[in-house]
Amino acid sequence: MQRDCFTQEQELFRDSYRQFLQKEVLPHRDEWRKAGIVPREMFRKMGDQGYLMIWADEQYGGLGIDDFRYQQVMMEEDSQYGDIGFYHTLHSRLVGPYLKHFGSDEQRARFLPRCISGDCILAVAMTEPDAGSDLAGIKSRAVDHGDHWILNGAKTYISNGINADLVVVAAKTSPDNPRQIGLFLVERGMEGFERGRNLAKMGMKSQDTAELFFRDVKIPKENVLGDASKGFHYLMRGLAEERLIGAAGYLGNAWRSYEVTRDFVMQRKVFGKPLSDQQNTRFKMASLRVELEVAQTYVDHCVTQQNAGKLTPESAAIAKLYVSEVEGRVVDECVQLHGGAGYMEEYEVCWRYTDARISRIYAGSSEIMREIIARSIFGR
């Protein structure tokens, strides 16, 4: 697909990042998936090359590049040569901006340099055993004790949960208002902060997903992010970009699945001819290409809107919904075109299929996306 949305500098950045992935990530992908976690040192290697939080100001050690195209480049290359379970994008582009937008000068000075270097790995903890998309349903509580808060609760399905050194934890701060939520910076080693299992998952095997427990954790006032009554607003602010990030990643996985399938059907012979000579195969691949190209055009448009500060929650929901559904259809058809080989883990399309199933659930399920879009149509 011919795309003219990237500058020469961004393409040079792509080449450099691709070389990094081919050297540092691709050779280790299988062992990380078996281990169920990416080594902490990989965040430091990313930091050494300046690939973490590239938007951060130079005073903290960042590159000062607040252009989402660069993150899009990284996610596209991750899909080709990286590993979907290496959650540096969550660290850099989902959690890090909470410090940028809502942190104090002291908090930014204390945490950002170590986050940019990869010495401090980030996570955000919202989901609970009985509360997912509906944040008003969370049960975690933080009680104000004057010079500190006491945090109690449990979180689950937390990405980077084992590796994380700093976790942004959402907890209710009012017994009367279910939408009054605070965000608390919980650091590794705080008394009462414990980690549970590294949860076994259908896909994304190398990404550490954990249970977190907070039992009378003493949170100093300097570890409260912004206003302790406005956490719900803070979380909502980042959702549009989170869903765009998701869409870009889903599309990268779909494109890669399509490419490995194209190579497979050109080599695989049926009735003495390459599978790619069969009309059924040719038409199916053509149909997949159409869906991918249309999805790519919309994602590229949304990135332009994001850079201009004009990306709406509705547009992001459309991108998240449509691209995750396209990814699901593409990877499913790609497995089918592989035949029995598609069911074998030694074939790349197999684990890309299982990795893709979560796309229609996390960062807001397809059903939630439809509700957001419906509200933009009907006003409620």
The pTM is what?
A: 0.94
Is 242 annotated in the active site? yes
Distance (Å, rounded) from C-alpha 113 to C-alpha 309? Answer: 26
Q: Are 159 and 207 in contact (CB under 8 A)?
A: yes
Q: Which of these is catalytic: 242, 291, 327, 348?
A: 242
Residue 224 per-residue DSSP state? B
Q: What are phi and psi of 215, to 5 degrees?
A: -120, 100
SS3 string of 166-232?
EEEEEEECCCCCCCCEEEEEEECCCCCEEEEEECCCCCCCCCCEEEEEEEEEEEEHHHECCCCCCHH
Distance (Å, rounded) from C-alpha 37 to C-alpha 195? Answer: 15
- What are the domain boundaries of the chain? 8-119, 123-229, 238-378
> Which residues make beta-bridge pairs with 273?
270
Helices and strands (H, E) in the chain, number of each type: 13, 9
Pull the structure tokens for residue 99.
């410090």
Q: What is the pLDDT of residues 171-222, one digit of tens each?
A: 999 988 988 999 999 999 999 999 999 999 999 999 999 999 999 999 999 9
Question: Helices 239-267 and 348-356, interaxial angle, to 10°?
Answer: 150
Q: What is the pLDDT of residues 314-356, one digit of tens each?
A: 999 999 999 999 999 999 999 999 999 999 999 999 999 999 9
Distance (Å, rounded) from C-alpha 56 to C-alpha 58? Answer: 6
Pull the structure tokens for residue 19.
């070389």
What size, in residues, is the chain?
380
Q: What is the pLDDT of residues 128-160, one digit of tens each?
A: 988 766 677 899 999 999 999 999 999 999 999
Pick the CATH number of 8-119 from 3.20.20.70, 1.10.150.130, 1.10.540.10, 3.40.50.300: 1.10.540.10
**Residue recorded with tokens 């302790």:** 228
Pull the structure tokens for residue 379.
């006003």
Whole-number pLDDT of residue 114: 98
CATH placement of domain 123-229: 2.40.110.10
Pick the CATH number of 238-378 from 1.20.140.10, 3.40.50.1100, 1.25.40.10, 1.10.760.10: 1.20.140.10
